[in-house]
Amino acid sequence: MKKKLMVFAGMLFFVSVSYADWINDAKNESEKLLEPLAGDIGAVLGGGIYGPTKSCGLLGFDLGVRVATTEISDDNPVMTSGDSMGTYWIYASKGIPVLNVDVFARTMQIKMESSDDSIALLGFGVEYNLIKDKLISALPGVSLIAAINTLSVTSIDARTTTIGATVSKKLPFISPYVSVGRDTTEMSIDTGIVTWKPEKSKTRLVAGIELRPLPFVYANLGVSKAGSETGVQLGVGIKN
């Protein structure tokens, strides 16, 4: 666990998806062998969207940074198994009380190592609040989430579609939460001769806790299991 937390903290400054080698190596593999790569990319793209259920108030908003990491799967042909990869996004959401939902978007542009290319990350989604998480209530909050997140760089595109559900309980200064989700990832890899389109789906479990040390300020930390690979996710920012 200590090692995972160190990797997690380092992702604030170091983004392993920025290394160019895996992109070049992927062009030399077959479509079937690239399915684990699609699953690992999806484990990152589908991460970092979970936290305590939202209140969807008229003045509700959330602005901050989200980070997600995952271990590399054993059968990934272009990355070292057991290592971790991850990325981060600028994240913003806004409550729409008339629909009882929060809508969110996140984005980031990441310069590739040893290359002039950049990775473009973009995501958006909605969270529907079934049961509001209230401090004065014994009932937990429950919400449903749906999101699409994409990765784009020269010759490679990936899209991860996520559906999930979260249960959380608001307590003084903290909110523990548990989420379950399904990430389905489709990739397009142009080899220069053919275009491979590997696909992979993984079920995700997340357990985490959000801390509220000051009014409007939060930090949440979660541990996730996407397939058989473990990852971590972080959210820091301000919200109402």
**For the segment 70-83, what is each residue's pLDDT rounded down to a tens digit?**
999 999 988 887 78
Residue 235, amino acid: G
Q: Give per-residue pLDDT as tens, 18-57.
A: 666 788 888 888 999 999 999 999 999 999 999 999 877 7
Q: Is the pLDDT of residue 15 over 60?
A: no
How far apart, in whole angstroms, are the C-alpha atoms of residue 185 and residue 42?
5
78 within 8 A of 235, measured Cβ to Cβ: no
Mean pLDDT on 220-239: 94
Q: Mean of the per-residue pLDDT values for the chain?
A: 88
Q: Which residue has the higher pLDDT, 237 or 134?
A: 237
Output the six-digit token pair for 191.
Answer: 């080899």
Mean pLDDT on 172-186: 97
Output the six-digit token pair for 121.
Answer: 């990350």
Query: Nearest-CA neighbor of 200 among 77, 28, 20?
Result: 77
Task: Provide long-range contacts, Cβ within 8 A and 24+ apart, for 216-219.
Answer: 216/240, 218/64
User: Given this model, what pLDDT does residue 4 score?
Assistant: 45
Q: Which residue has the higher pLDDT, 58 or 157?
A: 157
Phi first, then psi: what are they for 102, rounded to 5°?
-110, 135
SS3 151: strand
| Percent of the chain residues topping a pLDDT of 70 | 91
Q: Is the pLDDT of residue 14 over 50?
A: no
Indicate the DSSP class of residue 133. Answer: -
User: Given this model, what pLDDT does residue 23 score?
Assistant: 82
Confidence category of residue 137, pLDDT binned at 50, 70, 90: confident
- The residue range of the domain holding 41 is 2-239
User: Given this model, what pLDDT does residue 116 score?
Assistant: 76
Q: Is the pLDDT of residue 17 over 70?
A: no
Mean pLDDT on 85-99: 90
Q: What Å distances lie between residue 221 and 80, 114, 158, CA to CA?
A: 25, 32, 26
The pTM of the full predicted model, rounded to 2 decimals, is 0.89
How far apart, in whole angstroms, are the C-alpha atoms of residue 30 and residue 45?
22
User: Given this model, what pLDDT does residue 55 score?
Assistant: 74
Confidence category of residue 12, pLDDT binned at 50, 70, 90: very low
Number of domains in the chain: 1
User: Given this model, what pLDDT does residue 16 score?
Assistant: 58
Output the six-digit token pair for 117.
Answer: 């290319």
Cα dihedral value 136, 142, 147, 151, nearest 10:
70
List the single range of 5-9, 58-62, 110-114 with lowest mean pLDDT: 5-9
CATH number of 148's domain: 2.40.160.20
User: Given this model, what pLDDT does residue 111 score?
Assistant: 81
Q: Is the pLDDT of residue 9 over 90?
A: no
